[in-house]
Amino acid sequence: MLESLVAHSIRARGAMVALLAMLLVAGVYAMTQLPIDAMPDVSTIQVSVLTKVGGLSAVETERAVNIPIENALNGVPGAVELRSMADSGVSSVTVVFDDSTDPWFARQLVIERLRGIEASLPSNAETPELGPISSGLGEIYMFIMRSEHHSPMQLRTLLDWEIVPRLRTVRGVIEVNAMGGELKQFQVRVDAARLAAHHITLKDVIESLRVANLNAGAGYVERGPEAFVVRGEGLLKDEQEIGAVVLRTVPNEAPLLVRNVAEVRVAPALRYGVVTHNGEGEAVQGTVMMLLGSNSHDVVIAVAAEVEKIRKDLPPGVTIETVYDRSDFVGRTLETVLHNLLEGIAVVILVLAIFTGSLRGALAVVLGIPSAMAIALIGMNLFGVTGDIMSLGAIDFGFLVDGPIVVLEAVIAATTGKNI
C-alpha cells in the first residue's frame, strides 16, 4: 500500500506540489487566527461574586454577607470548589468550576443562584456583582499618570471619567482597574451641636439629601398644537447646591438649610494605600484586563493605539507612561520561535548538503519543517490551543526532519548504489 501511494505521488507530482502549497497557505492563515500569548494560561474557570457593604468589620461581613452567598451557591452544577474572603466592607466569594465548563455558562449558573439574595443581606449592602470574565493572566497593560500641576484627586477623576471609559471600548478589553490618587467625594460634615440645637437628626439630613438629589417628571402641558414636557431638575451639581438643600421649613421663619448645620466640601475618600513608581512620588495607575480567550497580542496593540490617541487629548502637563506591555513578551516569544525555526532550517541544509552532496535533496528535506508547522498550526486552531513559548517553542525540528532524511538516504542509495 505504501509503495502504491509513493508511486501515485510521483506520477501526480503536480497535484502533490499544489496540495503542499495549499497546506502552507492554510498554515499561514491558521497562524493569523491563532491566539498568541507569552505563556499558557492554566487558570481555572472561576466566577467571583463581589459585594460592598459599608460599616461592617471583616468578621461581621463574613457572617452577614459571605455565609448567605455561600449557602446560595452551594451545589452549583460543575462547581469543584467554593472559597470566600471578607474584609472591612468588602465580600468576595469565588466559585471554581471544572475545566470543561464553559465560562459564560458558569456565570449564568451563578447569576441564577443569586436571584433574590438581597433579601438575605444587610440593608446597607449593595447588590452583589460578578467579577470580570478574565483570568490570572488577564492583566495585559499597565500605565501610570503624572502631573506637576494637577492634584492626585484631579488625576484620579480624569482617569475614572475620561480615560477608563475610552479604554473599555477597545475590543477584547473586559475591565480597566484604577488605583492610586484620591477618589473625589462631596462630603457633608455635620455639626452635632447644631443638629441638637435645631432638633434635627442625622437621619433627617440623609433623607433630605436623598430626596433633593432626584430628577422628576411631571407630564406635559399642551399649548395649541404643541406639548411642553415638564421636568423637575434636582440632581445636585456642586457644594453650593448641596448646602442649599432644605432640611425644614417653619412659617414666618427662614428655612433651615444643610449649610446651617454642616460643612459641605469636596474632599478625598478614605485611602488605604498609595501608588508610587520608581521612588519618584505618588502616581495614578490604570490596569487593563483582557477578555478571557482573546488574542493578547492584538488586544495590547489596540490598547496601545488608543492610549496614543488619549495622550493627544490630555490636559497640559498630564503624562501617561506605560509600565507593563504584554506585547513585549509576546514579541520575544515570536522572535524566539522564528529564530529557532530559521536556525533549524539552516543547520539541516548545511549538514545534509555536506554529508549527502546534494543541495536539492537537502532542500526537499527542509520542506518537511514548514509542512509540519502548518499542520500543527491548523490543529492548534481546531482544538483551541494558544500559541506561546510552551506550545510553539517546544517543537523538535530534529524529529520533524528525521523521516525525510531516511527517505532521502534511501533515494540516494537506490540511485547511486552507495550508502551514506
CA pair distance 360, 367, nearest whole angstrom: 11
Extended beta strands in 308-382, E state = 319-325
Q: Roughly what angle, to the nearest 10 degrees, separates helices 397-416 and 326-356?
A: 20
Report how far apart, in Å, the C-alpha atoms of 114 and of each of 111, 121, 356 are: 5, 11, 71
Domain with CATH 3.30.2090.10 in the chain: 185-268
CA pair distance 134, 264, nearest whole angstrom: 40
pLDDT per 10-residue tile (average), the chain, 420 residues: 74 84 89 79 89 88 94 93 91 94 94 91 91 88 93 94 96 93 93 92 92 84 87 87 90 90 92 86 93 86 95 93 86 78 83 82 81 86 80 70 78 70
- Right CATH for 185-268 from 3.40.50.1100, 3.30.2090.10, 3.20.20.80, 3.40.50.1980: 3.30.2090.10
The answer, as to whether pTM is greater than 0.75, is yes
CA pair distance 382, 376, nearest whole angstrom: 10
The β-bridge partners of 223 are 226
Domain with CATH 3.30.70.1430 in the chain: 47-134
CA pair distance 335, 389, nearest whole angstrom: 10
Asked if 220 and 229 count as a contact pair (C-beta separation under 8 A), the reply is yes
CA pair distance 35, 377, nearest whole angstrom: 11
Domain 2-38+330-416 classified CATH 1.20.1640.10? yes
| Triad 123, 126, 128: Cα angle to 5° | 120
CB atoms within 10 A of CB 322: 13
| Of 97, 116, 121, residue with least CA distance to 107 | 97
Q: Roughly what angle, to the nearest 10 degrees, separates helices 296-313 and 326-356?
A: 140
pLDDT at 420: 58
Counting Cα atoms < 13 Å in the Cβ hemisphere of 399 gives 5
What cell was used for 396? 523538535
Domain with CATH 1.20.1640.10 in the chain: 2-38+330-416
What end-to-end distance do the CA atoms of the chain give, in Å?
A: 27
| Of 71, 78, 72, residue with least CA distance to 103 | 78
For domain 47-134, the CATH class is alpha beta
pLDDT at 217: 79
